[in-house]
Structure 1
Amino acid sequence: MELVADILMIAGTFGVAVYCYVLAARLRKLSTLESGMGGAIAVLSVQVDDMNKALEKARQAANGSAATLEALTGRAEVAAARIEVLLATMHDLPDKAPATQPTENPADRRLRFVRRRHSRDDMEAAE
């Protein structure tokens, strides 16, 4: 009986050793940097760093644009206030009487055409 138990124990130990060897081989393939998950993780890490840099540049550009837009909005508000004041002062001015000018009938107007002849010196002769 002890012999059967020892044989089963040796067989179990041998099975566990083969299982550990297979797991070690899979882990080696998984962690290689050139191919496998290790390479994919390294590539993704580089892409995340690039995206963070691009995001920071975009954030700085947006902040600069927002500051410029805020300054321009302030200038526009000041100009609008000045225009409102000018319009208010225009209402206080008296109306001018229209100057008496002869009115022209559009049908009476004649179109003028000016024709010019080109001098022969300007033309090129064909050879």
Structure 2
Amino acid sequence: MDFIANILMAGGTFGAALYCYVLGQRLKRFSTLEGGMGGAIAVLSAQVDEMTRALEKARAAATHSASSLDGLTERAESVAARLELMLASMHDIPARAPDPRPDPEVEAERRRRFVRRRSLRESSETDA
């Protein structure tokens, strides 16, 4: 019985040693920077850094655009206020009397006449 227990113990020890060897090899491949997960993690870390820099640039550009837009909005509001004031002051000005002399271009348009020619059928009907 002791002999069988020793054989099983030796087999378990051998299996555990083989399992540790396989795990060690996998861990070694996992941690290499060139081809394993370590390389992928390094690449992803570099991409995160690049994206962070791009995000900061975009944030700075958006802040600049927002401040520029605020300035333009304030300027437009002041111009609109001045236009409203000018429009309100226009109500105080009396209406201009119409000019008794007609505009020559408008009169020329009114005087234009259109001549309608008779078709051949209409002229043959009147000739008959």
TM-score using structure 1 length = 0.79
In the alignment, the residues of structure 1 paired with residue 2 and residue 54 of structure 2 have an alpha-carbon distance, to the nearest angstrom, of 70
* Counterpart residue number, 1:72: 72
In the alignment, the residues of structure 2 paired with residue 101 and residue 27 of structure 1 have an alpha-carbon distance, to the nearest angstrom, of 102
* Counterpart residue number, 1:16: 16
In structure 2, the gaps of 5 or more residues are 113-128
Percent identity between matched residues is: 61
* Structure holding more helix per residue: 2
What is the CA RMSD across the aligned residues, in angstroms?
A: 1.4
Structure 1 residue 107, shift from structure 2 partner: 6.0
Q: Secondary structure at the match of 1:92?
A: coil
Deviations 1:89-110 (A, max 9, x none): 101001111223334232657x
Structure 1 counterpart of 2:4, one-letter code: V
TM-score using structure 2 length = 0.79
Larger Rg: 2
Superposed, 1:24-63 pairs within 5 Å as 24-63=24-63
Which runs of 4 or more aligned residues in structure 1 lie more than 4 Å from their structure 2 counterparts after TM superposition?
none
Structure 1 counterpart of 2:109, one-letter code: P
Structure 1 counterpart of 2:94, one-letter code: P
